[in-house]
Amino acid sequence: MKNDVYCRAVLFAILIALCCTHVAAEDTVPGDLDGDKIVSETELCTAILTYLDGSSEHPLPAELRAASRIHAYYPRTIVCADGMAVTTYKPIERIIALSDPQADAIRVLGAEDRVTGVSSGIAAETMLLPVMYRKPVVGTSAKPDPEAILALKPDIVITYRTWNIGLEDKIEPDVRVVRLDFTDPDNLTEDMRKLGYLLEEEARAEEFIEWHNGYMSVIKNRTELIPNTDKPKVYMELYPNIWRYKTFSKNSSGDRQCTIAGGINIASDLFEGSPTLDPEWVLEQNPDVIIQVVTSKLPSGYDCDDPAGMKRMRDELTSRPELADVSAVENERVHVVASDIRCGMQQVVSIAYFAKWFHPDIFEDMDPQTIRQEYLERFQRIDFNMSEHGVFVYPEMER
């Protein structure tokens, strides 16, 4: 009885004094004696008593702290964007990120030092991802190399819901695949909360969610009051430097962003993910606003200070003979936006731009550039002056 009471007292003291140091990645769970990957109270008490008895095989203090932490906080389970559950049985120390939105989310959570491998696309983000871009490359975001992933011995790989299908068959159970998109405005905060829970960074996740939802609420509260008859018809052209007349259809991230900002996507009744439109059909729809989404290869984004590439895309569209009589072209309501801010964690910035383009009078007081600067300084911790560097929209708004 005395031993049991003493064990519980020591256990309580250790749990209170848990340090914030994460457990190193190992094949086994520290403190787990029966192989079920869970450190029960009995197993933890056994470890504590073994340590106190001074046995030659007693656990080291660091191992005891690790076991105590795992007993208190694990296992942790989330349901990914594809509906599959992922369970972790110890702190995640080694991460491979395969796409920019996931990498940005990891950085917002302050967990970039845990990234041990990246895709080639992330490796090219020298400004926005100053820690991650130096990590070993495991292939492209669409075609990662399973052998390269396994060689780095990560705990998890983070990727999109619909990309790299079958990756689980090649790397699990050694490495768990976590599918969270961070692209859908309706699910962004949920994805962030799940990743924050998985990485034990709940406080950072909630800080971002509060900031993000604050601006989103302002936009939604205003646009929801606008009658549909006063909402502009919008044609969104996806990557005109690669395709012509490819757009966002029903329930796509671009479609939802357009709706939130108070516009009507002319392709919202089309069900294909990114259909290619007939130019004549676009002319018949006669959109009031045209938004071109361009890639960072244009160039645009953080590593570019010259708007010539965006201007060239806009000039090319406005000079298309088939669009000459479209309202958006006639009234000079053609805008170009970089994918760097259209997707992922920064999408509230592009939605703020959309809202100002659609309803300049209603959103006269909103400054998307200020939102973008806040995001970089507060959540990415990057010293970057938005008024002096980067190309994200064209033409740029007067402040």
What residue segments make up the domains of the chain, in order of their start? Answer: 2-74, 77-200, 223-394
b (16+ CB within 10 A) / e for 119-155? bebbbbbeebbeebbebebbbebeebebeebeebbbb
Give the pLDDT mean for 373-385. Answer: 90
Q: How confident is the model at residue 308 (pLDDT cuts 50, 70, 90)?
A: very high
CATH class held by domain 223-394: alpha beta
If you average pLDDT over every residue of the chain, what do you get? 88
CATH topology of 77-200 equal to that of 223-394? yes
Contact 336, 292 (CB under 8 A): yes
Q: What is the pLDDT of residues 170-201, one digit of tens each?
A: 999 999 999 999 999 999 999 999 999 999 99
| DSSP assignment of 334-391 | EEEEEHHHHSGGGHHHHHHHHHHHH-TTTTTT--HHHHHHHHIIIII-----TTTS-B
The sheet carrying 176-179 orders its strands as 115-118, 95-97, 156-159, 176-179
> Is the pLDDT at 20 greater than 60, yes or no?
no
Contact 235, 287 (CB under 8 A): yes
Distance between CA atoms of residues 17 and 275, nearest Å = 56
Contact 301, 338 (CB under 8 A): yes
Q: What is the pLDDT of residues 123-179, one digit of tens each?
A: 988 888 889 999 999 999 999 999 999 999 999 999 999 999 999 999 999 999 999
Query: Quick check: helix, strand or coil at residue 265?
Result: strand
CATH class held by domain 77-200: alpha beta
Q: How confident is the model at residue 19 (pLDDT cuts 50, 70, 90)?
A: very low
Burial tier of 329 (Cβ tally within 10 Å: 0-12, 13-18, 19+): middle
Give the pLDDT mean for 32-56. Answer: 73
Q: What is the pLDDT of residues 248-302, one digit of tens each?
A: 999 899 999 999 999 999 999 987 778 999 999 999 999 999 999 998 777 888 8
Percent of the chain with pLDDT over 90: 67
- Can you give the pTM of this predicted structure? 0.87
Q: What is the pLDDT of residues 360-371, one digit of tens each?
A: 999 999 999 999
Query: Quick check: helix, strand or coil at residue 51?
Result: helix
Distance between CA atoms of residues 154 and 165, nearest Å = 19
Query: Quick check: helix, strand or coil at residue 234?
Result: strand
Place of tokens 């007292």: 9
CA neighbours within 13 Å on the CB side: how many for 277?
25
